[in-house]
């Protein structure tokens, strides 16, 4: 069992968000849906709480009302092997949301994601500071990461 689970607080879109995320991540499933009963505090039958898995990682979400909002101070980092993966997550999660610099985006629910190619770790940890600098400069010009352009910057340094 996963010891630490990301817990998301939605005003009233927990089920909608869960279903959206299930459509984006191939290996995902619903593990629990709890509904309000007669004792409340919500309307009987409405979703109160959901649990789901995205690519094997468990998440929980609550319809907790308007008290709290999401912030980029907390984000979910998606490691991508190929440009096709970067494109998939960028397009799906960004639909109806807002794109930011350096692979960051806010989805239509306000949850922040980082869509990052695995090769970034290799490039940014290279012992050659000129290569690292060239990749950083290229990265700072991007919203969605372009692996070919990052590779070109790395190789030309």
User: What global pTM score does this model have?
Assistant: 0.94
Are 23 and 52 spatial neighbours (Cβ–Cβ below 8 Å)? no
Which domains, from first to last, does the chain contain?
A: 1-68 (3.30.720.100), 70-157 (3.10.180.10)
Residue 102's region, left for phi above 0, alpha for psi from -120 to 50, else beta, is left
Going residue by residue through the chain (157 aa), what tens digit of pLDDT does each one get?
899 999 999 999 999 999 999 999 999 999 999 999 998 788 999 999 999 999 999 999 999 999 999 999 999 999 999 999 999 999 999 999 999 999 999 999 999 999 999 999 999 999 999 999 999 999 999 999 999 999 999 999 9
């Amino acid at each position: 069992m996963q010891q630490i689970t990301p817990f998301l607080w939605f005003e009233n879109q927990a089920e909608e968000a869960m279903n959206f995320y299930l459509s984006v991540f191939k290996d995902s499933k619903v593990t629990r849906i709890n509904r309000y009963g007669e004792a409340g505090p919500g309307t009987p039958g409405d979703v109160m709480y959901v649990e789901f898995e995205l690519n094997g990682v468990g998440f929980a979400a609550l319809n907790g009302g308007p008290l709290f909002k999401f912030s980029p101070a907390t984000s979910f980092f998606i490691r991508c092997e190929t440009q096709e993966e970067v494109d998939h997550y960028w397009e799906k999660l960004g639909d109806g949301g807002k794109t930011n610099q350096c692979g960051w985006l806010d989805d239509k629910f306000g949850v922040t994601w980082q869509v990052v190619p695995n090769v970034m770790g290799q490039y940014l940890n290279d012992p050659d500071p000129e290569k690292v600098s060239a990749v950083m400069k290229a990265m700072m010009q991007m919203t969605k990461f372009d692996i070919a352009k990052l590779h070109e910057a790395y190789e030309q340094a």
